[in-house]
Structure formats: structure tokens, C-alpha cells
């Protein structure tokens, strides 16, 4: 049964990493969206 426990721990670590990856991607998407919106506002001001 010792091997099973190790596999479970690895699965938890992998799931945790995937979750953190998604949070990071989400942050990046929000930042990009904000930058694009800011860019569009500047364009509106200039023209």
C-alpha cells in the first residue's frame, strides 16, 4: 500500500500545480485585457 500513497500524493501535487497554473493564466488574461482597454482609451483620446 505504500506505493499507492505515493501515487496519491503525486496526483495531489499535479492537481495543485495545474490549479495554480490556471490562476496564473487567469491573472495574465486580466492584465492583458486591462492593457488593451487602456490602449483603446488612449486611441479614443488621440483621435
- DSSP output for 1-47: -HHHHHHHHHHHHHHHHHHHHHHHHHHHHHHHHHHHHHHHHHHHHH-
Q: Identify which has the larger pLDDT, 46 or 12.
A: 12
17 inside domain: no
pLDDT recorded at residue 1: 56
Structural domain count of the chain: 1
pLDDT recorded at residue 3: 75
7-41: pLDDT as tens digits: 999 999 999 999 999 999 999 999 999 999 999 99
3 inside domain: no
What pTM was computed for the model? 0.64
d(CA 1, CA 36): 53
- Its domain, for residue 36, covers 23-47
Amino acid at each position: 500500500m505504500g506505493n499507492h500513497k505515493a501515487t496519491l500524493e503525486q496526483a495531489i501535487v499535479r492537481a495543485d500545480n495545474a490549479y495554480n497554473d490556471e490562476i496564473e493564466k487567469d491573472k495574465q488574461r486580466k492584465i492583458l485585457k486591462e492593457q488593451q482597454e487602456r490602449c483603446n482609451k488612449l486611441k479614443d483620446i488621440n483621435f
